[in-house]
Amino acid sequence: GRASCDVQLHHKCHTLPEPALERPGKEEASSKGSQQLSAAADLPMQPTEYYPSTSMPMSGWMQPCRSCRQWTSHDMELPVCKGAYTVVEEVPLCRRCQVKVRRALEK
């Protein structure tokens, strides 16, 4: 037996159907937009910090790999020494370096 699935796929593009979204009236949309703008205006602007000699922001989703310094969006949870304590942190590591670290930890 093959397990049946309740989700029907579109026959043309093999994707899930999109849920119907209710759009707010013009009055609701304009009041929400002005509330969001006023809330954003209240926050102080923080200057964006960039990695030296790049246009890559330090708080972005791309980070340099801690091992080879290649740009990556991947990370790995590793034990990191913080003084007398060891804590688990997400460390940016590219896929190639993740494989190397896993092999080294297995030994």
pLDDT tens digit sequence for 51-67: 888 888 888 889 999 99
The three-state DSSP-derived secondary structure of 31-87 is HHHHHHHHHHHHCCCCCCCECCCCCCECCCCCEECCCCCCEECCEEEEEEEECCEEE
16-43 mean pLDDT: 54
The answer to whether the beta carbons of residues 75 and 93 sit under 8 Å apart is yes
**For residues 6 and 79, which has the higher predicted lDDT (pLDDT)?**
79
19-31 mean pLDDT: 51
Q: Is the pTM of this model over 0.75?
A: no
Write down the pLDDT at residue 36: 57
Write down the pLDDT at residue 62: 93
Write down the pLDDT at residue 41: 62
87-93 mean pLDDT: 92
**For residues 14 and 45, which has the higher predicted lDDT (pLDDT)?**
45
Write down the pLDDT at residue 40: 59
Contacts for 90 with CB less than 8 Å, ≥ 6 apart: 75, 76, 77
